[in-house]
Structure 1
Amino acid sequence: MKIGFGVPVSGSWATPANMLLVARRAEELGYDSLWTFQRLLYPVGNPMGPVYRSVQDPIVTLSFLAGVTSRVRLGLAVVNMPFYSPALLAKQLASLQDVSGGRLDAGLGLGWLPEEFVASGVPMEGRGRRAVEYLQVLRRLWTEEIISHKGEFYEIPPSYQDPKPRPAPPPVLLGGTAEVALRRAGQLADGWISSSRADLTSIRDQIYIVKDAARAAGRDPGALRFIVRGVTRLREAGLPDRRPLTGSPEEIRSDVEALAAAGVTEVFHDLNFDPDISSPDADPAASLRRAEEALDALAPGE
C-alpha cells in the first residue's frame, strides 16, 4: 500500500506558503505522492458545501510543487477532460511531466456540475463517448510524430506537437462512480481513482467491476492501480458511528489496512475535505498546524 497526501488547494489554508510546507514535509516523511483536485466554478446557491467554494487550479499547483520537490509523485485527482481541448491538455500535461522529471499521475474525469459545462462551452450530453475519443487523441498527441484526427467530437489538422512528455507519457487514471465509468477505467486506463463521496465500505465491489472490464478487454487487471481519495479527519478515538478514515491515527491506520485487503493499491489522505481545516473562514495557521499533526501521525512506516 502506497500512502500519499492531499496538498492545500481548498479554502483559506490553500496558500503558496502552506503548499510548499506540506509538500516538502510530506516528501521528508516518505509519503509516496501529493494530490490536487479541480473545481472550476461554485454556482451561487449550490448546496455542495464550503470545500468547493475556493479552489486553486490543480495543474498550476502541481507545476509549482514540481520545482520544490524531487522524489514524491504528483497526482491530479482529477481534472475534467471536457473543459480542455485534447491538444491543450496534452501540451500542459506533457510539460508538467517534463518539468517534474516524470513524476506526474494524470487523473482525468468527465465532470458532473452543469454550470461548469455551460461556462466551458461544451454539452454534458455524450461525455462518455467524448471521453473515449479524447483519450485516443491525447495518447496520439503524446506518442505520434505527426497527428491528424477527425472524429465525432474532435478534429486536429496534420500537426506536430512537441516536446513529447519525457521520459515517457504519464499514467492515465480515470475517475467515476457509475458502472459504465468503472468499466471504462478497466478498458482504457492505467488505474481508477475513487471520489470524495465514495462509500469506502463497498470499494471492493467497484474494484471488481474495473478488473472484470480489464479482463474482458484482454488486459491484465493485476497491472492496474486503485487509488482512494481518503477524506481523512483526525479526531479522538472511539467516535460513535465512525466513518472510515475518521478518528485516531491508530483507527485510521486500521482503515487503510482494510482498504489494502479490499484491493486498494494507494490511499492519499486529503484534509481539504475536513471543514475544520479547509473552510474559507478557517484560520490558515491553525489549519496548517492540524495538517502537520496529521502528516506526522499518518506517515508511512510510522
Structure 2
Amino acid sequence: MKFALHFGNNTFPDGTGAARLARLAEAAGFDSVFAVDHVVLPDTYESTYPYDAGGRLPSTQFTAMPDPLIWMAFAAAATTRLRLMSGVIILPLRNPLVLAKQVATLDHMSGGRIELGIGVGWLREEFDALGVPFAERGRRADEYVAAMRALWRADGASFSGRYVGFEGVSCDPKPVARAVPIIIGGHSEAAARRAGRLGDGFFPSIGAQVDTMPLLDVVRRSAEAAGRDPAAIEILTGCPGALPGSGQDACAAVEERRRRGIGRIVLPVGAFLPDLEESLPRFGERVIRAFAA
C-alpha cells in the first residue's frame, strides 16, 4: 500500500513551504505529493464545483495556486525519492506538445519521479477565458493523451487527429521509462471508462459528492473491454478513517481499502496541520510502516 498527500501546492504555495512539505513527506514514508491545477479562476461563475456540498470553490484554499508543474519541479529538487503528481491537471486547457515536453523534462531531471494526473475540468468559465470549447473537452483529452505518448515513445513521432497533428518530430529529453504514468481523475462514469480504456491509474478525487466506489467496477469492465489487464490499473482513493482525529482505527480503515483493491491512499495535507514535524512522522510510524511491503 502506498500513501500520498493531496493539495500540496495550494497549501504550501511558497518555496520554503514546498520544500518543507516535500522533505517531511519523504522522510515519513509517503510515496507521493499531489499538486492541483487551475490556469485562471473567474471572479464569478455559474458552474458547480463538484467536490464541495455547497458547489462553490473554497476561496481560502484556492486563492494562491502555483502552476502544478513548476511547483512539482521545486519539490522534486528538494527530495530524492518522493514522487510528484499533478492531481489533476486540466488536460484540455494545455497544448499537448508543450505539456509533453514539460512533463518529460521533469521526469528526466527528477530521475523518473513524475506522474501526470489528468482531468477534463468542470469550470466552463475557465474554458471560455482560454478559448477552449467546453463541450469537446473529453474527446480532446483522449487525443492529447495519445499524442503525448507518441512523443515520449520515440523520435520521429507522427500523429494525426482531430485536434492535434504532427509528422516526423522529436521531443527530447525522453521520460526515464519512455513514458510517464497517466492517472485519470474524476468522479463520473466517463472518467472511470477513460481510466479503464487508456489510464495507468484512476483517482476519483477526494471530496466528490457521490459514492465513487462503484466506479471501480466501471474501470475494471472498461479495461477488460479494451483488452487490458484491470489489475494493471492502479486505484487511488481517499480514506477518511485514516485521517488524524477521525476517531477510527487508521490501520483498519486502510486495510478495508486494501481489500477492495486500492493501491494508494490519498490524504489531504491540511489534516496534518499545523504540526507537520510531529504529525507526518507519527503517521508514518503508526500507519505507513504497518503496510510497508
TM-score range, shorter chain: 0.7 to 0.9
Q: Does 1:92 align with 2:102?
A: yes
Question: 2-side partners of 1:39 and 1:251: how far apart?
Answer: 35
Q: How many residues align?
A: 276
Q: Give TM-score, length-normalised by structure 2.
A: 0.86
More off after superposition, 135-144 vs 253-262 = 253-262
Uncovered stretches (5+) of structure 2, i.e. residues with no partner:
46-55
Q: CA RMSD in A?
A: 2.3
Question: 1-side partners of 2:151 and 2:89: how far apart?
Answer: 18
Q: Does 1:105 align with 2:103?
A: no
Equivalent position of 1:34 in the other structure: 33
Q: Does 1:137 align with 2:147?
A: yes
Question: 2-side partners of 1:265 and 1:151: how far apart?
Answer: 33
**Which letter maps to 1:94?**
A
Equivalent position of 2:280 in the other structure: 295
Equivalent position of 1:241 in the other structure: none
**Which letter maps to 1:149?**
F
Equivalent position of 1:124 in the other structure: 134
Equivalent position of 2:20 in the other structure: 21
Please give the per-residue CA displacement for 1:1-46, whole angstroms capped at 9, x wherever unaligned.
21122363225x4321111111111111211112111122222245
Contact 2:10-2:64 within 8 A present in 1 as well: yes
Question: 2-side partners of 1:126 and 1:21: how far apart?
Answer: 39
Question: 2-side partners of 1:232 and 1:54: how far apart?
Answer: 29
SS for the counterpart of 1:9 is helix
Please give the per-residue CA displacement for 1:43-89, whole angstroms capped at 9, x wherever unaligned.
22453212222212111111011111111211111111111111011
Please give the per-residue CA displacement for 1:210-251, whole angstroms capped at 9, x wherever unaligned.
011101111111111001256799564xxxxxxxxxx14x54
Q: Give TM-score, length-normalised by structure 1.
A: 0.83
Listed as ranges, the matches of 1:109-188 within 5 Å are 109-188=119-198
Listed as ranges, the matches of 1:135-284 within 5 Å are 135-198=145-208, 202-229=211-238, 236=245, 247-248=246-247, 250-272=248-270
The percent identity for this pair of structures is: 32
Question: 1-side partners of 2:278 and 2:13: how far apart?
Answer: 17
- Provide closer, same or farther for how the CA distance between residues 8 and 126 of structure 1 changes in structure 2, counting only shifts above 3 A: closer
**Which letter maps to 2:289?**
G
Q: Does 1:63 align with 2:62?
A: no
Question: 2-side partners of 1:251 and 1:52: how far apart?
Answer: 31
Q: Pick one of 82, 90, 95 that aligns with 1:72.
A: 82
- Using the TM superposition, give the Cα deviation of residue 101 of structure 1 relative to its aligned residue in structure 2, in angstroms: 0.2
- Using the TM superposition, give the Cα deviation of residue 184 of structure 1 relative to its aligned residue in structure 2, in angstroms: 1.1
Please give the per-residue CA displacement for 1:69-119, whole angstroms capped at 9, x wherever unaligned.
111211111111111111011000000100110011111111111122122
**Which letter maps to 1:170?**
V
Higher relative contact order, structure no. (Cα contacts within 8 Å, ≥ 6 residues apart): 1
Contact 1:186-1:211 within 8 A present in 2 as well: yes
Question: 1-side partners of 2:153 and 2:77: how far apart?
Answer: 25
SS for the counterpart of 1:187 is helix
